Every structure is written in structure tokens, then in C-alpha cells.
Structure 1
Amino acid sequence: MSTTTTAAPHATGVGTSAQRPDGRLKVRGEFAYASDLEDEGMVWGATLRSPHPSARIVAVDIAPALALPGVVTVLTHEDVPGQPLYGMKVADQPVLARDEVRYQGEPVALVAADHPETARRALKLIRVVYEETPPVTEAEAALAAGQVVRHIRIRHGDPDSASARAQDGAREGAPALVVVSGEYEVGMQDQAFLGPEAGLARPAEDGGVEAYVSTQWLHDDQRQMAACLGLPLEKVRLTLSGVGGAFGGREDVSVQIHAAILALRTGRPVKMSYGREESFYGHVHRHPARIRLEHGATADGRLVFVRARLLFDGGAYTSTSQVVIANGSYFAAGAYEVPHVAIDGYAVHTNNPPCGAMRGFGAVQSCYAVESNLDKLARALRVDPAELRIRNAMTTGTVLPTGQAVDGPAPAAELIRRLRERPLPAQAEAGDAFAIPGGLGNTSHGEGIRRGVGYAIGVKAIGFSGGVDDRSTARVRLSLAAGEPVAEIRTAAAECGQGIVTVQEQIARTELGVEHVVVLPATTSVGDTGSSSASRITWMSGGAVKGACEAVRERLRAERGEGPLGKLLEAGPVEAGFEYAHRRTFPVDPERGQGDAHIAFAFAAHRAVVDVDVELGLVKVVELATAQDVGKAMNPLAVEGQIEGGSAQGLGLALMEELRLEKGRLRNPSFTDYLIPTIADMPSVPIDLLELPHPDSPYGLNGVGEPPTLSSTPAIANALRDATGLELARVPVRPDDLVTGTATGTERTAP
């Protein structure tokens, strides 16, 4: 199909800060989320979960629960009509536990009742006899026991010889390489989305099921549900309901299969809606990680080799651990030119909660370790940390540890330069309690405060990698309504708050030159759009919508010629579909990890300025400046919102966010004890956008949502190290980690 000239620029088309159609409703509290769903004759579903991280199930007695008035049914593993296991990549997670439970919170039984409180009471009446078994909760122990999900091995250049040369030079008095090493740890972070898991399923007349779900990928949910329900795909029909944020936590199914099984058994619509505590148990989290790194560099600061060992705790089931550890390993040398690299990445099974996708997808963990160790190298070389990064930064043409050359824009050095040239924020004025650590709580009055500055840069692949045939479909219909041209767009793209609905509208306005655009609800009745993840949805779904609009224009011209659009449409609507695909990628080979695995790369950098009260261990992030190449800012205001949000999640990981486990038991499943940044914690976030068009994407755009989470955490950690002189080899950094009498940052007097 040949393309035609794009329509004239539209006032709310591509490149403008068009308003979101759901924005006003969400701000006013009128938007319908999944938890707001209702249906006639609806009953409520609830899940009984294991209190133990590891145990054998000896007996289950559901009779007392069934006897409770108002209870419609109680189901166990025996009632699963189809395949008993599900999973995104590997079907290894039981729909309902059968003989054993492998983590605290694993589903054991389901209840449907006429009221949610009745359902909760019935759960307490189910009698389960457990025989506890010793849990494996340490990743190193799991690795030693052979509980490996995946091992990624990457060898590039000759790292062993490079290491040997460094040792030989030191022995023989020749100019030796400067070698620094460190071991770094990342805690388990939660996606902490606004709306807990919810959905509604109802039986269909054809024996199938219709479900309204809050998800990131309708078609993958459909695939897993159909297998477990014992139904063909066409009898499992899904519609996207209101999504209250996702960040990777909705890639795995939660209520979907359970609600559908209950609906088919009862013959009635079933609603399931988790409370906040159950939500912490009911979805995957970011993988905790331990990463050992060794950098070798010449005396003038040129990187020669990197050796890395990554160990990710995947928890009880596989979820996406196989690809998370791959992604973390691919970028374990950072955004730098390194001729010799040896990387070993391991993901393991434990009896901790399952871990899977979260914004940044493994690259967050490796970026924290790389950028932390690079600052250590800068101190050893007595080189400015920003200059060391610029000196070694990737460029277009850089060959990655996987052997792939970067063929798109790679402005790593430019991003750091822009941040370095930005003026530093002023010191807090006297009496400004908001501006000093602990000032708002009258905890501190500014004594013992030291300022630190830290830099970091991150790189990540955009889109699915490793040979996945990534495609996205869209249909566009152009018609007249009340005499005005109207474009209707139908895709299965999941709007998770990132603004894909708005972008689709903007593309249609740009390509078709119409004012009125309607994006219809996302359903499985149209072709697969893929997941709203991997920073891919604007690229892939946008490419599909653009292609469908171009096909509509061509068909209109071929069938009806030239003329005013309204006049041409008097003969009836015009509709066309389009399937968009990017160029091929390839799996890496298992021996040396070499292969052209990625379609594109995105870069983001941060400079953090922090004030630290080293007597109380309190921190105020004063500024978190960022520079990022976005290819094309499809909606500049939305792009800035994504960058601010990603920076906030990075700040949370740096200073406060961690799910705490004790022998596999979750100790803080609430926002009372799991802390997330508030407006009082957020600093100024100046944003410097670069728009360097990517040669392969629609409009030259690039992924935006994930890169800010990469560099924000290590930038803050490096600033804390600059202020205190401490190693700080673990995030989140806690107050007691910072209390020291040997801080080395720039001290200032109290305001």
C-alpha cells in the first residue's frame, strides 16, 4: 500500500498538548473504574489465600462456608474446568492450589455470595489443614539448590584477558588499569497503583463468558482464561474496564480467571474487587536483586572491561522472570562503550511472593548498580563523575555487549552535558521549613545538613525483544454525524493512564484532518494490539492507527475522488484496517549472548541535588533535573507527566518504597507501612526534552514511560554518597543508613 500526504496540521493533532478525554472525569472523581462495575443479579466473589509461604495442603472442608446463608457456591482446585495452571510465559501457577502452597497469599478457594461481607465471612469458615514446610526465602540458597528460572550468559570481547592484563600491569610496574568492584542490592518494590484489582464476569448464552477487566493486555488474558476455562478463544470475550494505573502489575492475571469460573458455575454475573491489603498479595512486584560489578578503566578514565553477576529473586512462580533477568543482563554495562564484557544473570524461584513486570523491567536494578559503581570508579580516578560518563558514553554505532550496534539516536553524552550545565538550585532560605529535611514535622531546624549532587544515565530497549514478532492492529471508520465528519477508532490498546486514547485521537486528527474523533472501548473483538508495556504502545498502536487512517484516505480517494470530506462521505462511511509491525529482532545465542535482539533504545539522565541531615538521617531531595530523548513528543504535556511520574517512582525506590519480608511473610501490606512519595517528598523536576527522530518509528517517536525510572534512583543514591561519603550499597536508603559523623559533603549553616 502506498502512502499519501498527511493532512494539514491540526490544532490538537500530533505534537500538541491535547487534553485527555478522561481527564476531567478522573479529577472530579466521576470516572468509572473496574471497582465501580455493577450488573443485574450480580453476586460477589472472594478468594481464600494461604497464610503460609510453604506448606502441604492436608485437607480442605468447604461445608461450613456453604451452609452460611447468602453463599451461592464455594470452589476449590477440583472445580477448575480446564487447564489447572496459567502464566504469561510459562503455565506453572495454579488457578487454585492443589497439594501445596508456595507463597503467602496463594489462592486456595473461591466463594460467591450475595453480599461482599457475606463472602468475606464465608472465607473464614473454610477449614484448611496445612502442614508447614521450610520455606526457601534467600535467593543465594535457591541458586545453590538449582532453583534457576533462567541463566543469561553474555560474553563480548575478551574480558578475562582484560582482567589479566590489569593484574599483570600492576605486578610489572606498567600503567595498570584502575579496577573497582562493588555489590549492590535492590529491595522489592510494589507498583502501588491507584486502583486495586477488580473485574466483572458474566455467563453468555453461547456457553462462553464475557468479562470486563482491568488489564494491560486483553488478548493475553483471553488466551490464559480460555485455557483454564476449557473454552475456545471466541467464547471468552473481554472488554477493558477503567484501569487505575498499572506499571507492570496488571500484566499477570488476578481476578480474571477466578471471576469467570464463578460466573460459569453460578450462572450469574460475578464481581471481584480486592481491598488494598489483598492487592499487595494479588499481584507481582519488582524483583529484589543483588548485583556484583567490577569496572576496569585506564588511568585517564576510559572503560576497558565490565564483569557483572546479577541475581534476581523471582518468587514462587515464573511470571515474566525469564525476560526480566534477560533485560537486566542486556544492560548491565550501562549506557557506555565497553569493549570487554562478561555478564551472568540468574533468576531463581523462592517461596517469596511472585515477582514480574514493573516499570523499567530489570533495567532499573542493573542501572542502579552500574551507576553506583561508576561513581566509585570516578572517586578512585579522581575524575568528575559527569565527565567520566561523558567520556565513555554510547553513541550511534556503539556495539552493545550483545553484539548489536545502536543504529538510532544515542545522545547519552548530550543528556549529561545538559544537566551539568544547568544551574544548581539555591540553598534554602532561613525559616523555610518545607525546604529542609524534617522541617515540616519540626523534627529538624537545619542542623548538620550537608548537600550532595549526583548524576546517572540509563538506557533501555523499547518494545518486545529477542525475536518476538510484535504486531498491532487497528480499524478506523470515517462517517458523517449531524453533517460533520467523525472518525471512529477501534483497537485493543489498554489505556492504563498513560494517554494512549488521547494519542490515537491526535493521530486521527493529523492524518484525516477531522475534529471529531471517537476511540471505542478496547475489546478482544478486534485484532491483538499487544501489551501496554515495554514503552511500546504509542509506537505500535500509534503505527497501526496511522496506517489505518492512511488506508481510509487512500480508499476514499480511489473510490470517490477529490473534494470536501463532508461531500465525499455523503455516499456512506469508509472503513479500513491495518496491521503494523516493526522490523525483525532475533534471540541472543545462549553461549555468548550475541544477537540483534532489540528494535530501539531510549536514554534518560538525571541530576539529583539532595540535602541530608546526617545527625537524624533525614533527606530532602531539593531538585531532580532530567534530560531525555523522546524522539517526538506526541503530546508534550503527557510526556512531561510520564517523566515526572517515572522520576517519582525512582525517588520512592531510592528512599522509602520496599515490601518487607520475614521468612517469606509480608509485613507491610498497606499504605500505612509501605511508604510512597507524597507531594511533600517530591522536589522540583525540571525537564529537558530532546526530540531526535527515530528512523524506524511512526513520526520518529520513541518510548517514554520507563526510562525515567532507570536513572532517577541511582542519581539520588549518588547524591547521598556525595553528601555523606558513605557506601550506601542498598536501596531504599533508610535514615539509619545515613547517620554518620564522617560525612564529606558540603556543609551549610542552618537557615
Structure 2
Amino acid sequence: MTTIGTATGLTQGTRTKGGIGESTLRPDGTLKVTGEFAYASDLWHEDMLWGHTLRSTVAHADIRSIDIGEALAIPGVHAVLTYADLPTDTRHYGLEIQDTPVLAHGKVRYHGEPVAIIAADHPETARRAAAKILVDYAELPLITDESSATAPDAVLVHDNRQDHHSARVPHPNIVHRQPIVRGDAATAAERADVIVRGEYVFGMQDQAFLGPESGLAIPSDDGGVELHVATQWLHADRRQMAPVLGLPEAKVRMTLSGVGGAFGGREDLSMQIHACLLALHTGRPVKMVYNRFESFFGHVHRHPAKLSYEHGATRDGRLTHVKCRIVLDGGAYASSSPAVVGNAASLGIGPYVVDDVDIEVIALYTNNPPCGAMRGFGAVQACFAYEAQMDRVAAGLGLDPVEFRQLNAMEQGSLMPTGQRVESPAPVAELLRRIKARPLPPERQWEVAGAAADVRALPGGLSNTTHGEDVVRGVGYAVGIKNVGFSEGFDDYSTARVRMEAIAGEPVVTVHTAMAEVGQGGVTVHAQIARTELGVARVTIAPADTRVGSAGSTSASRQTYVTGGAIRHACENVRGQLLELGRRKFGSYHPAWATAELVLEGGRVVTDGGEVLAELVDVLGGETIEAELEWRHRPTEAFDPVTGQGNGHLQYSFAAHRAVVEVDTALGLVKVVELACAQDVGKALNPLSVVGQIQGGTTQGLGIAVMEEIIVDPVTAKVRNPSFTDYLIPTILDTPTIPVDMLELADDRAPYGLRGVGEAPTLSSTPAVLAAIREATGLALNRVPVRPEHLTGTTTSTNAGG
């Protein structure tokens, strides 16, 4: 069930069917559920070769030699390339810090690093050739955690490091450090009647998208290359690729292919440069498709973390101070670790008012797998810890955990730890009230009168491990805060091209952006905006490519805000051009053409009183009206490197969850019965899509709570479980009922009052599940994911990723 609150302060749109506020269906939805949608892995070219990557079998080693002779001798092999074969002196890339080699040079820094690439006439031939490449490794000491990374005699993961963060970190194996200090936490602690300290561990999570990395590179007649690829940011890919390929950006032409999910895992390059290098070298199209095993090594993961917190509060329930230190394991290369550090620090105390804070967040270089962007981006790890702390402080004070949160909840006008004022609605207390007021699901649902027990409702499900004799219920609450959009002074903008013309006697609008549709539903929203602004029913969304300006990344819950804003901006320009054209053609026939109150509705020009002045096709005649414009949100600023103060974020989103779980205390099995969510979405441009985003984010939070973790061997730094057999993700049988309560409180500074939606529910769902399990079992449970042995005390497990 979904309930929607009242929207305030919103711009009134036209009444053209399929506009904003309606639950229009996705144009790709039916194709995806029937298996007819063309993903990147379905790409084909009649004379294409197949690319494959040879990856390191060790985590840290000098490369003594690489012998490719036997591989090249295999019939059907067209190319084997190593670092020595790269065409330019630019041989590294990176989103922010260019520290990642296209192919390993001199040494390998993590298990699975690319060492060589092969092109052959069949994928199995390419794999056989890779197996014939002989690499002589001399293994080196491993850096796997903070103690080994920052020891006085620590091996450096990157020698001679020089980047814009290196001068501000206390050790070269620290990628980035961000302190945030406001007030005097030490003095404030003296006023506390209760002080709670906690140590928490967050495991390494994989994005686990279903469509593996894939793309098709085609050499062009002008010496350039065309790449059709599943990605999150076409222009950032091109920016990193062109210097390595030795080409101007204009000769690297990118087109988005079908994307089978992303969640941050496609922000970094994977096969893009490799496929293009092979295509340019052989003069043939080259397709690369990772299998699931390769995919686990081919993209970054969510940072595992160790988090230390101290909360203090007075007897009447007011927070006095928060101290915290968060250590994120960034793995072998920087990726987006600096930005993840900034988010974890600035959002590290949650949506609460605390005047005195002392926060430090660092990210490490280690020989573990590289980590970077994943849905929630630093705020997820922090939310798990600070929400556990809020429950513990409430218990220490003898207060209801929800009421304690409401007592300290921020609201519009509150100050963040960075000193930034929250200028839009922040209904934290109201979201908590709503989820607490929701009726609880019936207890012992597996007991059906007069029928056999429904084992699906029990922990262990269809494995039929119990009939309920050791099962107890728990209920837990959590709330989180997430930023929307790129932060810390990043020039965040998007570009949209909108064209209106008459085709077959009907006005048609074409919207062209470089936005990566990765499943979030932008292709639906973009058409809705055009219908609303231009009053035209027929809207075509052109394929995303680099023939139009950048749309930025499909991440940070930003695309509806920024690319939606760009489309609206371009539509307004087209509308202005159209009305001026109409004034020139028909203005002398009706004085209403002189007013600025004319609207476009249902393919007509209409006065504010509803009088039809002209059909759009008559105004257009044979002309085409087009606008390509950039749109930027208001600027942010970098956090001060010493105090962390600064207006670093654009917008904040808030979500709260109540989890209801059943726990088999004998076997350590958990069944999440319900994960109710309340979230302020500002304005639901497509309510059905918004609910889907909230339910999807909630399910990913459930995954990290009870099952998802990449296990890294603490001795070898090798990944133990690179498959969906051993890396578990929630199935439909694990997914609980997820009722959504949408509150619409407009952000007056955002297009249509909207608020980014997709990430916030991933934050609070995890700690809500943990809180419910704690209530059911009485156990402290200071790490995620929770495994059966943590609930029964039968074994002790380790996780090098933490």
C-alpha cells in the first residue's frame, strides 16, 4: 500500500495526459520482463572479434616477466596486448585521481587486476589464449588494514604518489582524510548523564547488478572508435579513455547500450579502454562481455568500514555531543574514495541536532579489491553505526527509541555538523511518527487454522527447518539522511536538447540527453516533463550518446533533479520560441497573443482562460524549433580541510524504516516480515516509479543486513566468493512486504519541488533490520551482515574486508 501526503508550493503544470505526477508506464518495462530487451551483452557485429582479460592471480607482487608467445600462436588469436603495447605515454586513468593503470605495469596491487587483453575469433579461443600467457610474479607483503597501511615501515601501495590529496594526509597509504569539528565535544561530554561508546564493522558489499559489464567497440574510418557500452556516465568514460587511446575526444564516440543495473558499479571504467584498444589494434569490431566471475573483479565495491562512535545525552534525552572515527577500506586504487569520505564525514551523525561534534573519516589504500561508488555512497556505513548508537543511548536513558530520535530530530533550519543550514523541509520526526503509527503485521503468520503450516513465512523458508518452536519476533526503527547531487564544489550540471516539429499533422517533441538509463526510470520522467512543459502527447526519447552535451553520472540521486531541470529549461526555451513564432503569424488576429500567460496544452496554444488560439501544427508549419541548453544547480563548496565546515551539499533526502523480523534463535536464521518505509520525496513526478525506487533501495539495505558480503581472505587478500552461488542476494522469497508512505513536501529550489529518491531508503533499512534482530535476541550485533553464527555463538568468523 502506498499513501501520498500533500504537496505544497508546486508549480501547476498543464493537463496533457502523461505529464508529471502521473504513474506512466516505462517504455522498456514489458520488453525487460518478457526477455526481449536488448542489453549490452546482446550487441553483435558480423565481423567482430571477442575480447578477454587476463587477471592477476595474486594480490600484491612485482611482475618479473610476461610471456605471450604461446597465446599468440593459437589459431584464431588476433592480438595479445600488455602495458608495453599501449599507444601513448598516458597509461593511467581514474575518476578523480589518475592512479589506475590500463594494464598492470611493474606490479599488481589486487587480486584480479588486468594484466593482458586478448582478441580472438571466438570467446573460448580468447580464454584458452589467456590461460597460455605466462606471468612470473614475485609476491610482496600485503597491506590489508589500517595497522598494516600506516605502520612506520609500511609498504606503499603507490610509490611517489602525487595528487591533490597527498599533501593533506598523514600517510601515503591514506587516500583522503576529512575531519569535521564544530563546537567542543570534549567539554560537552562533561554535561552528559549517559555516554555510550561503540565499535562497528561494515562488510564489503557488491552492487550485484544482473547485467555483466559488456560493450562493443567499432573502429571508425577516420581513425577513431565508436563504443556501445553499458555505463553510468558516457562523457566521464570518454574523458578518461581518449588520452589513453591517443585520440581527441571528438573521435571517441559513445552510445549507451542496454544497461542491466548499475548502483554505482559502472561509474568506473571496466572493459571500455580494453575493447577500444583491441578494436583499434586489429581494425575489427571487438565485443567484450564479462561472465559473473569476471564481473566481481571488474568493478569496484562498497567500502567496508570500521566505525568508532561516542554519543552523550542528558537525562532529559538531549544529545550533548558525538565523536566518531570511520576508517574506509578503499582497496588498491582511489576510484571515488575521496567523495565517499566527504559524504561519510558530513552525514556521519545522522539527521539529528548536535552542537558539538568531532568527526574523522579516512579512506585507505590497501591490496584489497578497489572500492568506490555504491548506492548510498558513504552514508550507508555511517547510518548503520549511528542508528545502533541511538538505540543504545535511548536504552541507557530508559526512553522509547523512536521518541528519543524525534526529540533530537533536525528540521528545516537546523544546522548540519558542517555548519550548513538545512533550507528545505526536513520532516524527520514526522517520518518516524508515520512508520510507528502503522499497524504491525499479524504474529505467527505461518500458523493457518485448519491448514498445513506455511513454511514460507518462517525463518529458513522452504528449507522447512522449523515449525516455529524457537522463533521470536523483533521490531526495530531507523532513520537516515542522504545528500542529493554532486557536492563539495563540483560543477554539477546537465545538458538537454529538445526539438519540436510537426510530423504527419501532429506536433512531436524529441528529447535528447546523455543520461544513462540504468533502470531508474529517467526515460519515463523525461517524456513526462516534455509533455507537461510543451503540452504535446507524442514525445520521443533519443538514444543517449556523446553527440549531445554531458548529463553527468546516473548516481547521487541527481538525474531527475539535474537532467530533469535541463529538460525543463530547454522546453521553456522551445516554448518561448514557439510563442514568438505564433505572435508573428497570428498575433494580429487576437490580442491574447501579446500576453505572457499563454500555455501549451493538448497540442494547442491556449489562454489562461481556456480559449484555444491555435493548433501547434499550424504555428509550426514546416519549421523545427530546437534548443540545447545546460542547466546547473546552485553551487556548493569544498569542506574546510581542517574543520570540515562549508556548504558542501545541494539537497538532503530523508527516509525512515520500521523492520519486523522473526528469528529462529536455535538456528540463527532470520525472516524479515515487513520493512515499512516513510520518505519525503518532495514531488513524485512518477509515483509508481518512486515507489519502485524506494522498494528497491530498501531491498538492497536488507541484503547487506543479513546476507551480502564479499569475503576477502585475511592472509592472501583474495576474494573467496566471486559468484552468486556464494555471494548471496535477496530473492523474491527473501523480500518482505514493503509498504511505502510518501510524503510530498516541496523543495522550493528544486525543479517541481522534487527531491532525489533512490538512495535514502538504502540507508535506514539496514539498521532497522539490525535493531529488530537485536530486540528479538538481546544480542549486541555490531557488524553487518549478520550471519547465523552471530546469533547462535557457534563459530567465530573473520572478514578481511573490514
Structure 2 length as normaliser, TM-score? 0.90
Deviation string 1:367-386 (CA, Å, 9 cap, x unpaired) is 00000111111111111111
Give the structure 1 partner of residue 111 of structure 2: 104
Give the structure 1 partner of residue 675 of structure 2: 624
Asked if the contact 2:212–2:291 (Cα under 8 Å) also holds between the matched residues in 1, the reply is yes
Structure 1 residue 656 and structure 2 residue 707: aligned?
yes
Asked if the contact 1:7–1:513 (Cα under 8 Å) also holds between the matched residues in 2, the reply is no
Give the structure 1 partner of residue 23 of structure 2: 17
Aligned match for 1:601, one of 647, 652, 656: 652
Give the structure 1 partner of residue 517 of structure 2: 495
Give the structure 1 partner of residue 235 of structure 2: 219
Q: Report matched runs for 1:264-413 at 5 Å.
A: 264-413=280-429
Task: Give, as a single letter, the amino acid of the residue that structure 1 aligns with 2:149.
Answer: A
Asked if the contact 2:21–2:684 (Cα under 8 Å) also holds between the matched residues in 1, the reply is yes
Aligned match for 1:695, one of 748, 769, 773: 748
SS in 2 for 1:661: coil
Q: Report matched runs for 1:80-95 at 5 Å.
A: 80-82=86-88, 83-95=90-102
SS in 1 for 2:125: helix
Moved more, 48-57 or 429-438: 429-438
Whole-Å separation in 2 of the counterparts to 1:7 and 1:604: 27
Asked if the contact 2:17–2:537 (Cα under 8 Å) also holds between the matched residues in 1, the reply is no
Aligned match for 1:716, one of 766, 769, 773: 769
SS in 2 for 1:671: coil
Asked if the contact 2:307–2:325 (Cα under 8 Å) also holds between the matched residues in 1, the reply is yes
Structure 1 residue 151 and structure 2 residue 158: aligned?
no
Give the structure 2 partner of residue 30 of structure 1: 36
Aligned match for 2:76, one of 70, 74, 84: 70
Q: Report matched runs for 1:156-167 at 5 Å.
A: 156-163=182-189, 165-166=190-191
Give the structure 1 partner of residue 691 of structure 2: 640
Give the structure 1 partner of residue 635 of structure 2: 584
Task: Give, as a single letter, the amino acid of the residue that structure 2 aligns with 1:302.
Answer: R
Residue 142 of structure 1 and its aligned partner are, at CA, apart by 1.4
Asked if the contact 1:724–1:740 (Cα under 8 Å) also holds between the matched residues in 2, the reply is no
Give the structure 2 partner of residue 132 of structure 1: 139
Residue 428 of structure 1 and its aligned partner are, at CA, apart by 2.3
Question: RMSD between aligned alpha carbons?
Answer: 1.1
Asked if the contact 2:232–2:555 (Cα under 8 Å) also holds between the matched residues in 1, the reply is yes
SS in 1 for 2:87: coil
Whole-Å separation in 2 of the counterparts to 1:139 and 1:202: 44
Residue 325 of structure 1 and its aligned partner are, at CA, apart by 1.2
Deviation string 1:394-422 (CA, Å, 9 cap, x unpaired) is 11111111010100110000000011111
Aligned residues: 727
Give the structure 2 partner of residue 728 of structure 1: 781
Structure 1 residue 686 and structure 2 residue 712: aligned?
no
Residue 740 of structure 1 and its aligned partner are, at CA, apart by 6.5
Residue 177 of structure 1 and its aligned partner are, at CA, apart by 2.1
Residue 559 of structure 1 and its aligned partner are, at CA, apart by 2.0
Asked if the contact 2:51–2:278 (Cα under 8 Å) also holds between the matched residues in 1, the reply is yes
Stretches of structure 1 lacking an aligned partner (at least 5 in a row) = 167-175, 742-751
SS in 2 for 1:359: coil
Residue 586 of structure 1 and its aligned partner are, at CA, apart by 0.7
Whole-Å separation in 2 of the counterparts to 1:538 and 1:545: 10
Give the structure 1 partner of residue 545 of structure 2: 523
Residue 134 of structure 1 and its aligned partner are, at CA, apart by 1.8
Whole-Å separation in 2 of the counterparts to 1:685 and 1:438: 20
Asked if the contact 1:284–1:357 (Cα under 8 Å) also holds between the matched residues in 2, the reply is yes
Residue 432 of structure 1 and its aligned partner are, at CA, apart by 2.4
Asked if the contact 1:319–1:355 (Cα under 8 Å) also holds between the matched residues in 2, the reply is yes
Residue 678 of structure 1 and its aligned partner are, at CA, apart by 0.6
Whole-Å separation in 2 of the counterparts to 1:524 and 1:432: 53
Whole-Å separation in 1 of the counterparts to 2:225 and 2:460: 54
Asked if the contact 1:6–1:511 (Cα under 8 Å) also holds between the matched residues in 2, the reply is no
Deviation string 1:144-174 (CA, Å, 9 cap, x unpaired) is 44310011111011112112x24xxxxxxxx
SS in 1 for 2:561: helix
Residue 6 of structure 1 and its aligned partner are, at CA, apart by 7.0
Asked if the contact 2:581–2:619 (Cα under 8 Å) also holds between the matched residues in 1, the reply is no
Asked if the contact 1:250–1:283 (Cα under 8 Å) also holds between the matched residues in 2, the reply is yes
Structure 1 residue 738 and structure 2 residue 791: aligned?
yes
Whole-Å separation in 1 of the counterparts to 2:13 and 2:387: 45
Structure 1 residue 444 and structure 2 residue 466: aligned?
yes
Give the structure 1 partner of residue 662 of structure 2: 611
Deviation string 1:215-254 (CA, Å, 9 cap, x unpaired) is 0000000000001111111111100010000000000010
Residue 7 of structure 1 and its aligned partner are, at CA, apart by 6.0
Give the structure 2 partner of residue 79 of structure 1: 85
Residue 84 of structure 1 and its aligned partner are, at CA, apart by 0.8
Aligned match for 1:252, one of 268, 271, 274: 268
Change (3 A) 1:461 1:711: same
Give the structure 1 partner of residue 48 of structure 2: 42
Give the structure 1 partner of residue 8 of structure 2: none
Structure 1 residue 243 and structure 2 residue 259: aligned?
yes
Give the structure 2 partner of residue 172 of structure 1: none
SS in 2 for 1:665: coil
Whole-Å separation in 1 of the counterparts to 2:476 and 2:553: 34
Whole-Å separation in 1 of the counterparts to 2:614 and 2:137: 75
Give the structure 2 partner of residue 746 of structure 1: none
Whole-Å separation in 2 of the counterparts to 1:559 and 1:439: 66
Stretches of structure 2 lacking an aligned partner (at least 5 in a row) = 1-10, 155-170, 448-452, 584-612, 795-802
Aligned match for 2:615, one of 564, 571, 584: 564
Aligned identity (percent) is 59
Change (3 A) 1:473 1:99: same
Give the structure 2 partner of residue 171 of structure 1: none
Give the structure 2 partner of residue 486 of structure 1: 508
Asked if the contact 2:327–2:362 (Cα under 8 Å) also holds between the matched residues in 1, the reply is yes
Whole-Å separation in 2 of the counterparts to 1:56 and 1:584: 45
Residue 563 of structure 1 and its aligned partner are, at CA, apart by 1.7
Structure 1 length as normaliser, TM-score? 0.96
Asked if the contact 1:139–1:312 (Cα under 8 Å) also holds between the matched residues in 2, the reply is no
Asked if the contact 1:301–1:388 (Cα under 8 Å) also holds between the matched residues in 2, the reply is yes
Give the structure 1 partner of residue 60 of structure 2: 54
Deviation string 1:670-727 (CA, Å, 9 cap, x unpaired) is 0000000011111111100000011111100010000000000000001111111111
Whole-Å separation in 2 of the counterparts to 1:691 and 1:87: 38
SS in 1 for 2:614: coil
